[in-house]
Amino acid sequence: MKFFLDTGNIEEIKRIERLGLVDGVTTNPSLIAKEGRVFKEVIQEICSIVEGPVSAEVIGLKAEDMLKEAYDIAKWAPNVVIKLPMTEDGLYACNELTKNGIKTNVTLIFSAAQGLMAAKAGATFISPFVGRLDDIAVDGMKLIRELRQILDIHGLKSEIIAASIRNIKHVEDAALAGAHIATIPGSLLPSLWKHPLTDSGIERFLKDWETVPKA
């Protein structure tokens, strides 16, 4: 499974990237707003640090506005991916961009039918939101399992990005459910390699080492 970072924060990206753990980055307008910087500058900087796909979201709601933004954003860097909302206009824009060889990520997917539509429209990536479904007492991980099955049965090429990831269990379950990618907040990722028994284990080894006679 690939790991994307779900952040617009350059320091977070640099910290995790040096471990070889960043296969790509996803951003959204809320994440970009947190950085207080110009959108284009943030995306170009991320694209220069990370080799893999970097999703940048359009703001327009009409297909013609989405496409205008998309064709501009697509020139910012070779690894930029256009993030589109899961709407009728978004599907149209997805199909157009795909025909023109531009990679897309259809976002805000909350049902298997929506994911199937996005995959049929040629989306490179589809982003079901696990955490936001869990928030309304709907099993978000069930959607990941269903989508993986649908893509496999019908030989559809889109990759599933498990999005709206809130905890370690979400990452583990998304891996088991067959998500191709999990996009993980930069603040959550370090907790994936931490464990209290690892810390106490190191402490005990070092304490015992003190009693070993030194030559």
Q: Which residues are catalytic?
A: 83
- Pick the piece of the chain touching ligand E4P (CB under 6 A) from 32-40, 44-52, 116-124, 129-137: 129-137
Full DSSP string of 81-126? EEEEESSHHHHHHHHHHHHTT--EEEEEE-SHHHHHHHHHTT-SEE
Nearer to ligand E4P, 131 or 178 (CB): 131
Residue 131 is a binding residue for ligand E4P (CB under 6 A): yes
Residue 107 is a binding residue for ligand E4P (CB under 6 A): yes
How many C-beta atoms surround the C-beta of residue 145 within 10 A? 17
Q: In sequence order, what are the residues at sequence separation of 6 or more whose Cβ sits closer than 8 angstroms to the Cβ of residue 49?
A: 10, 13, 14, 17
Q: Are strands 2-6 and 24-26 parallel, antiparallel or unpaired?
A: parallel
Give SS3 for 75: coil
| Chosen residue from 28, 104, 114, 158 binding ligand E4P by CB under 6 A | 28
For the window 148-177, what string marks contact with ligand E4P as x by the rule CB under 6 A? ---------------xx-------------
Binding site for ligand E4P (CB under 6 A): 6, 26, 28, 107, 127, 129, 131-132, 163-164, 183
